[in-house]
Amino acid sequence: MPISSRIKTRITVAALLITGLLWACASPAIPPTATPGKSPGQSEITTTPSDNSSTQILNDSRVDVVYFHRPQRCVTCLCFEERIRYVVGTYFQNELNSGQMTFGVYDIGDSQNADIVKKYGAVGSQLFINTVKNGTDDIKDIQDIWSWHCTSNKRDFDQKVKNVIDQSLKDIE
């Protein structure tokens, strides 16, 4: 059965859009944002346990929110980092302060980050949630962020990121 020209056109357009998105994520057109006091690509982990009991939580049971990015980033990739930072800083400050949660942002192109990139198997702009329970890692690659429309629906994106983190925090209780 021959494929109609309308279906061929739709397939071609879809393939072009997907290819464009993949190339845009490697485009050097938009420089990476820098965090004040940090050099580009420098590892960032936000944890501030306040006492020895928090340190125990940090070592044995915690949620690690880890975002990786490439050296060159597209608008969507920059949005991911901005919104994930916002969600973590807005809704999970107590968990960060207690050591129940950590947050890190890593440039996969920086050789200083090679060990953590290898641990997570990061290859590009990716959000990982590692639920550490009794010292055992349960790493989840949250691929769904690509379908959560970060640039066009920030509230919905934020809520979905928050929900994923909330669920992981419940899993360590």
Instruction: Tell me the pLDDT of the chain (173 aa) as tens digits.
Output: 566 667 666 666 555 555 454 444 543 333 333 333 333 444 444 443 333 344 444 558 899 999 999 999 999 999 999 999 999 999 999 999 999 999 999 999 999 999 999 999 999 999 999 999 988 999 999 999 999 999 999 999 999 999 999 999 998 88
- What pLDDT, on the 0 to 100 scale, is given for residue 137? 94
* Residues whose CB falls within 8 Å of the CB of residue 122, separated by 6 or more in sequence, listed in order: 68, 106, 108, 116, 128
- Tokens matching residue 103: 């947050």
**What number of H helices and E strands is found in the chain?**
6, 5
- What pLDDT, on the 0 to 100 scale, is given for residue 26? 45
- What pLDDT, on the 0 to 100 scale, is given for residue 121? 96
What CATH number is associated with residue 51? 3.40.30.10
Q: Is residue 80 within 8 Å of residue 142, measured between CB atoms? A: no
Total domains, the chain? 1
Q: What are phi and psi of 171, to 5 degrees?
A: -65, -20
Range of the domain at 108: 5-171
- What pLDDT, on the 0 to 100 scale, is given for residue 48? 35
The three-point CA angle 161-164-170 to 5° equals 140
- What pLDDT, on the 0 to 100 scale, is given for residue 18? 54
